[in-house]
């Protein structure tokens, strides 16, 4: 079972590293979905979330033997990924609202992101459950 968590954690880690880097390469589209209730410049939040994704992704790629205290860095990263996915959910809601009047298939893409985010919640939680054994 540990190999399943390693593979899943590794795939999520690579996914998050890539998306984190993308926040710096293509920030403008991401700026547009930053919720207006967040203070300051949306670009700041784009960069903060990009750094968070990159760091969490890199931590998911660490060996199980790397620990902080008695806790695996990978387990901490899996919890952080779950929290990150929850934290960025309002951006997905904003995107769905903002894109509802765009030409098809863009509204469908925006709406599809909402339930897909629950898949990310489950993915992170499944990694946590396996790593806690």
Question: Cβ–Cβ contacts within 10 Å for residue 96, how many?
Answer: 17
**Residue 71 DSSP class:** E
What is the per-residue pLDDT for 69? 94
What is the per-residue pLDDT for 3? 54
Question: Rounded to a whole number, what is the distance in angstroms from the first to the last CA of the chain?
Answer: 9
Which pTM value belongs to this model? 0.90
Q: What is the mean pLDDT of residues 28-33?
A: 95
Instruction: List Cβ neighbours of 63 (8 Å cut-off, separation of 6 or more).
Output: 74
For 37-55, how does the pLDDT look when each residue is reduced to its tens digit (9 = 90+)?
A: 999 999 999 999 999 999 9
pLDDT at 15 over 80: yes
Q: Where are the domains of the chain?
A: 2-87+120-131
pLDDT at 4 over 60: no
Separation CA 61–CA 103 (nearest Å): 39
Q: What is the mean pLDDT of residues 18-44?
A: 97
For 113-131, how does the pLDDT look when each residue is reduced to its tens digit (9 = 90+)?
A: 999 999 999 999 999 999 9
What is the per-residue pLDDT for 118? 95
* Exposure of 17 in the CB half-sphere (CA atoms within 13 A): 12
- Report the mean per-residue pLDDT for the chain: 93
SS3 call for 108: helix
For 93-103, how does the pLDDT look when each residue is reduced to its tens digit (9 = 90+)?
A: 999 999 999 99
What is the per-residue pLDDT for 6? 60
């Amino acid at each position: 079972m540990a190999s399943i968590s390693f593979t899943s954690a590794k795939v999520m880690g690579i996914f998050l590293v890539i998306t984190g880097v993308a926040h710096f390469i293509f920030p403008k589209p991401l700026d547009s979905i930053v919720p207006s209730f967040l203070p300051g410049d949306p670009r700041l939040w784009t960069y903060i979330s990009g750094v968070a994704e990159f760091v969490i992704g890199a931590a998911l790629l660490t060996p199980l033997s790397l620990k902080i205290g008695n806790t695996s860095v990978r387990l901490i990263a899996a919890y952080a990924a779950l929290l990150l996915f929850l934290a960025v959910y309002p951006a997905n809601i904003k995107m769905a609202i903002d894109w509802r009047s765009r030409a098809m298939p863009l509204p469908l893409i925006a709406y599809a992101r909402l339930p897909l985010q629950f898949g990310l919640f489950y993915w992170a939680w499944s990694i946590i459950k396996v790593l806690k054994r």
